Structure 1
Amino acid sequence: MNYIFYRSMNKLSRIPGLLQLLLMTVFLVGCSSSRTRGFEKKVTRELQINKFGEHFTGLMVLDPSSGDTLVSVNSDLYFTPASNTKIFTLYTAVKILDDSIPALKYFVSGDTLIFSGTGNPSILHPNFRDSSAVNFLSRYSELVYVPGDFPEGRYGPGWAWEDYDSSFSPERSSFPLYGNVVSVTQQGGLRTEPNLFADSVQVMVKNRRREEKRNTFYFDPSRTDTLEIPYITSDRLTLTLLENVLGKSIRIGEAFPVEKTRTIMGSTPADSLYRRLMQESDNFIAEQLLMVSSFVLSDTISSSLARDFVLDSYLSEMEYKPRWVDGSGLSRYNLFTPSSMVYVLKKLLDEKGREWLFSVFPSGGKNGTLEEWYTGNPHPYVFAKSGTLGNTYCLSGFLIARSGKILIFSFMNNHYLEPASRIKARIQAVLEGIRDNY
């Protein structure tokens, strides 16, 4: 190739300047296109060898520095994304929220504080312990709670009903407390947080962790770890939980006065929420981030409002618009293409930079949901969000090639009939091939 290039340059030296530049450009683009086609053929062959033709598979790989699409296999077809949906949720939060997020909406009238929630997920959350809202409320002798209007309901569309007692499926609410879960442990005797539910926990072996329609919980006495169980939310329960932690009574109000309301910010940095969202694939935080984003946009709580706003504004030029129905990806109604995932990942890279993204996304072989997969030698080479549902495994994010270049990829798999671990092993083989050959 070097010899051919040298001879071509000699010939070009005898051609007038503008034409010479044009021919050089065509020659280099042709060489680049040839290399890209060869790389794509090699990766496609790896997909065939690793049996990715036995189920519905899509893969797109982009070199963001050149803008070249290196691999495109079913990249414009729609897949169930599972938790890859959180990439769009992260982008929404990054575009709308500041470094900290609102914790309370309020209005002060004399000694009376009228307040409501903003959807902030960190208040008294077991992983963040954000007490800023509670400390603010404690300053006032008279408290009036105005329940937030959230017509979209406790569960997202298309969620599995049988997950009601699973720790990964807390209910959505306008004023969440304690992550909307009850935490139960036997260390030092049976302990329950919030302690309001202490008498509602029964120590016995049951096939469910909670009754479906009431807050009665079951804790297996053989457990040695902490069990988190979603509780059934309600405006009355929110009021009672706040009264319990504040040690004072609270009245329920119907609405705020006509005068302008104000907000206070929570003490949990937004980046801390984003890291848990992505690394632990926290469904609750995903849902609540969309809700608090809509609050910032319009003073109302509606996850669909936030989704529609982002799609119609920041992502208006995206060619293959998704069917996007929740923040977490728990719903099988979601439909995304690999190309749309790559599109948003490219925007995140351009706007936030690699250092920030690599600190937020799970690192292969190091932390979060990728701790046991895609291990680098010696450093991580994959920084990506996984997504898992029954017969579904998707992985989208960033890959560092041997050349040092950052590549963006989305690898989506639906409708396989074998253990997900086998799919992951095959994906790892393909990603290692991409890493070593680009």
Structure 2
Amino acid sequence: MVNYRKYISSVAVLASGFFLAQSTVSTVLYSQAYDNQRSTLNLPSPITSVAEKTILSAKELVDINVNTMMTDPVLKNASWGFVVYDPKTKKVISSYNENTPLVPASTTKLLTTETALNILGENYRWMTQLEYSGTIDENGILNGNLYLVGSGDPSLGTNKAGAWSYRDIISDFMSGLSREGIKKVNGDIIIQTALFKGNIAVLPENVVWLENNNYYLPVGTTREINPANEKLIVKKSGFASDKKYFYVSPYVKQMVYAEKYDGDGSLTTKLPDAPAYLANTLRTTLVKSGIGVSGKVTPKMTDAAPESRKLVAAYKSPTLGDIVFYTNQHSDNSLAEALLKTVGFQKMGDQTSESGRMVVTNHLKDESFDMIGLNYMDGSGLSRSNNVTPISQVKFLTSLMDEKYYKTYFTSLPVGGQSGTLKRMFIGTGNGQVFAKTGTLNKVKTLAGYLKTNSGKTLVFSLMVNNYSGSVDMVKKRMEKILEPALDL
């Protein structure tokens, strides 16, 4: 219970309209003032006068706002949890439902990107190489094959995080061929990468429906260069054993029909070989430039005893640190899923989502992550089967403050009022002081990261809201309202 200061008159006490409220947060004085017409967003006003602000501590204001939100029309029927934590004292400052598993949406990327930094290192790069086999005669004819050797670069050709465009990569490869004196290719262009094996992909049980009755594959589930553009056409009513389902690939221009329907909301199919687009573009460019190619573009598994080859040109991706920055700033789903598969390959030699999930969860266990309530289903947070507790997120983020890559990780987070997916939140109070990953699904809004208080302290917080009423803008305003007093802690 808050102790009233002796300078407050009984009139002021009555005017404040406080009453005692009990909840999972500390018992505090609770404001009954509730002005639902204060703004177009119907934001509640638990603090109604300057006098009240002067007699309450920042912690009390946080608790009051949390208590107020319990009866707020937008949140009262929602499942939500909150915790703000002091990493110095290792104490919870304020919390509500901190041990409740909730759908984290894209704050799942906090786990994925940290695991990648831990396992691969912030300076890790993917290589895409152009090589050739055979010999070049005096007329510049290559009697052999060109090899496009990839390593699963998630940014290849996307212009993301400083990555080159396909055009720039092809131009560099063409320059390499010119240096070698190759004027004609008497052979094939072979796509070869150890990372992309003949895996089977299973669609998730909880499919993500968008528009036009189309089901868009969770990004990263295909082996295409740009899996975000892959989609699966199905009936909105769900799967049926007498229907045909198929992938439409914009790059290889082919349909791949499902091979198996399991009857339980999932189907399996072999996925297209990658990276077909880059290889086909290379062949087209060669031919247009007058360099004939007698063979075709074809995928080939890595040989146990490969023929001798010579390097023509090599393209390096941006660093992992750059890719993590882009992933978290823009909440890029395809990059997050690719990172998941990359850590799976590095640790288990198998670039599947299943291996990636296993690697991430094993890493979290090794780092003493609070696994109670955790359900890690994908790298991006698209799956509604993902679950995590607010307290687990906060303790995880706190533990990272001692890691050597913490600065890279911290700077990858959007900044309130300034950058990334937080640019339009905390435009006033909290501008430049909130560093956090956002998450958004239908009726899910989440936020987790760090606060820089007015006194210079760093606090860690998690705020997740599931199944709210009203618009997402209403929820965002309430999230700001809960967090703003914490800046004075």
Asked if 1:320 is matched to 2:397, the reply is no
1:244 to 281, 285, 294: 281
* Alpha-carbon distance in structure 2 between the residues aligned to 1:314 and 1:106: 37
Superposed CA deviations along residues 320-363 of structure 1, whole A, max 9, x for unmatched, are 34111111111111111112211321233221566434421000
Whether 2:444 is the aligned partner of 1:392: answer yes
Q: Which residue of 2 aligns with 1:162?
A: 210
Does residue 129 of the first structure (1) align with residue 164 of the second (2)?
A: yes
Amino acid at match of 2:152: G
TM-superposed deviation, 1:415: 1.2
- Residue 256, structure 1, aligned to residue 315, structure 2: no
Contact persistence 2:126–2:153 (CA under 8 A): yes
Q: Is the 8 A contact 1:145 1:250 kept in 2?
A: no
Distance in 1, matches of 2:449 and 2:299, equals 46
Instruction: Tell me which residue corresponds to 1:118.
Output: 151
- In structure 2, the residue matched to 1:339 is 391
Aligned length: 361
Give the 3 Å change call, closer, same or farther, for CA 67–136 of structure 1 in structure 2: farther
Q: Is the 8 A contact 1:119 1:173 kept in 2?
A: no
Alignment counterpart, residue 44 of structure 1, candidates 41, 63, 86: 63
Structure 2: which 5+ residue stretches go unaligned?
1-25, 29-56, 135-143, 231-244, 257-270, 285-292
Alignment partner of 1:76 is 2:76: no
The one-letter amino acid of 1:299's match is G
SS at match of 1:153: strand
Displacement of 1:130 in angstroms is 5.0
- In the other structure, the counterpart of 2:190 is 144
Q: Which residue of 2 aligns with 1:13?
A: none
1:173 to 2:225 alignment: no
Contact 1:150–1:173 (CA under 8 A) maintained in structure 2: no
Where structure 1 has 5 or more consecutive residues not aligned to the other structure, the ranges are 1-32, 183-211, 218-229
Map 1:190-209 → 2, pairs under 5 A? none
CA contact (8 A) 2:101 2:389 kept: yes
Q: Name the amino acid aligned to 1:151.
A: N
- Pick the structure with more helix per residue: 1
Structure with larger Rg: 2
Of 287, 298, 312, 2:337 maps to 287
| Cα distance, 1:157 vs structure 2 | 5.3
CA-CA distance at 1:384 after TM superposition: 0.5
Q: Does the 8 Å contact 2:225/2:274 carry over to 1?
A: no
Q: Distance in 1 between matches of 2:470 and 2:356?
A: 36
Q: Percent identity?
A: 25
RMSD: 3.9
TM-score, length-scaled by structure 1: 0.70
Amino acid at match of 2:464: M
The one-letter code matched in structure 1 to 2:93 is L
TM-score relative to the length of structure 2: 0.63
| 1:293 counterpart letter in structure 2 | V
CA distance in 2, matches of 1:172, 1:73: 36
Aligned residue in 1 for 2:325: 275
Equivalent pair of 1:86/1:329 in contact (CA under 8 Å): yes
* Alignment CA distance shift 1:253-1:365 (3 Å): closer
Query: What residue in structure 2 maps to residue 406 of structure 1?
Result: 458
Counterpart contact for 2:80–2:464, Cα < 8 Å: yes
